[in-house]
Amino acid sequence: MSLLFAPFKLREVTFRNRIVVSPMCQYSSVEGMATDWHLVHLGSRAVGGAGLVITEAAAVSPEGRISAADLGIWNEAQAERLRPITDFIKAQGAVAGIQLAHAGRKAATEAPWRGGQPLGPERGWLTLAPSAIAFAPGYECPREMTEADLDQVSVQFAEAAARACRAGFEVVEIHMAHGYLLHQFLSPLANHRRDGWGGDLEHRLRFPLRVARAVRAAFPSHLPVFVRISATDWVEGGWDLPQSIRLARALEAEGCDLIVASSGGAVPDARIPAGPGFQTPFASAMRQEAGIKTGALGLITDPAQAEQILATGLADMVVMARELLRDPYWPLRAARALGADVQWPVQYQRAKLG
């Protein structure tokens, strides 16, 4: 019996299998609103058989967008536009999730296919961060967040979570990874504050945990909250795995249900030793040491590899990005490779029977 295709339950939500479509920015929104592209892109991956389909990073405020074409969930019109998408995902037997995000000092850039560079003072907007330190040369210096900003951003995350529920999402994932705002608070490379929100580990954890608490309180208790973290900055003196384990324990205590273990993004010059399954040991360590469910992520492309991650107890779910861009039907093919009998969309049944 394949573990990859064994149903998995968190709170009151049952996933038909352990395959998660990782959030992937599409830079195809208009004023934060989803377009036909999102319905087809996310819908195809639900048709393709994934258990959970998570949207790209959805900004909780306009200034929290990476680019002007990011998805947003800071108003009701955006939530309403997402409703047909969650309905469609559900109708295919998948669970719909949304990643809630604020880019902090990495906001205000061009889409990657336009070069991905900072927009600059004329076309961009004022960015917020724990400390007034630019991400990299060419980026504007962010404004150091005041107490009022901290209050506002945690309310924005909570309101976005409530809106996500109204839009039909059954999972929210808080984005604490890849050098975006909440990761900026965690990492000593970006957080130079000397008040209660920076300094030692306990103080650097405070704001991300406050946001987690606010999101958990705003999202119904029968639905799971995921958190994506960067388990290491890959830089000496930066954020690392032991600190991640402390964070994972604290997130578990706040009622978060699953941590997706990513890495990097805090600074532009980290040397990342990427290779097949390279971040899986982080998922495994947090699962073991913090007693929280985890998702393995990073260069997972092969059904046997995915199955082995679960069979050896390294993680509870397998999160995939680029391979699912190459092939939205990967789950259906993987089921065949692993000898699991899964339901195909009725419209496609003749392809299954072959």
Ligand X SMILES: Cc1cc2nc3c(=O)[nH]c(=O)nc-3n(C[C@H](O)[C@H](O)[C@H](O)COP(=O)(O)O)c2cc1C
Write the DSSP assignment of 262-303 as a string of letters: E---SSTT------TTTTHHHHHHHHHHH--EEEEESS---H
Binding of residue 333 to ligand X (CB under 6 A): no
**What x/- string results for residues 228 through 267 when contact with ligand X is judged by CB under 6 A?**
x---------------------------------x-----
The yes-or-no answer on residue 329 being catalytic is no
Q: Which two tokens stand for residue 97?
A: 């999730």
Residue whose CB is nearest to ligand X in the complex, by number: 321
* DSSP letter assigned to residue 343: P
Binding of residue 114 to ligand X (CB under 6 A): no
Nearer to ligand X, 13 or 299 (CB): 299
Nearer to ligand X, 155 or 299 (CB): 299
- Least distance to ligand X, CB of residue 298, Å: 5
Nearest-angstrom CA–CA distance, 136 and 265: 11
Nearest-angstrom CA–CA distance, 199 and 29: 37
Residue from 119, 141, 165, 321 touching ligand X (CB under 6 A): that is 321
Binding of residue 110 to ligand X (CB under 6 A): no
Q: Which two tokens stand for residue 214?
A: 């606010």
Nearest-angstrom CA–CA distance, 87 and 1: 30
CA distances (Å), 122 to each of 29, 119, 134, 218, in order?
21, 7, 17, 36
Q: Which stretch binds ligand X (CB under 6 A): 41-49, 143-151, 153-161, 293-301?
A: 293-301
Q: Which of residues 154-193 bind ligand X (CB under 6 A)?
A: 175, 177-178
Report the amino acid identity of residue 280: T
Q: Which of residues 211-230 bind ligand X (CB under 6 A)?
A: 228
Q: Which stretch binds ligand X (CB under 6 A): 75-83, 242-250, 298-306, 330-338?
A: 298-306
Q: Cα–Cα–Cα angle for 246, 102, 287, nearest 5°?
A: 25
- Least distance to ligand X, CB of residue 169, Å: 15
Say how many CA atoms lie within 13 Å of 139 toward its Cβ: 23
Q: Which stretch binds ligand X (CB under 6 A): 198-206, 208-216, 297-305, 309-317?
A: 297-305
Please give the residue ranges that form the binding site for ligand X (CB under 6 A): 22-25, 56-57, 99, 175, 177-178, 228, 262, 297-300, 320-323
Query: Which residues are part of the catalytic machinery?
Result: 180
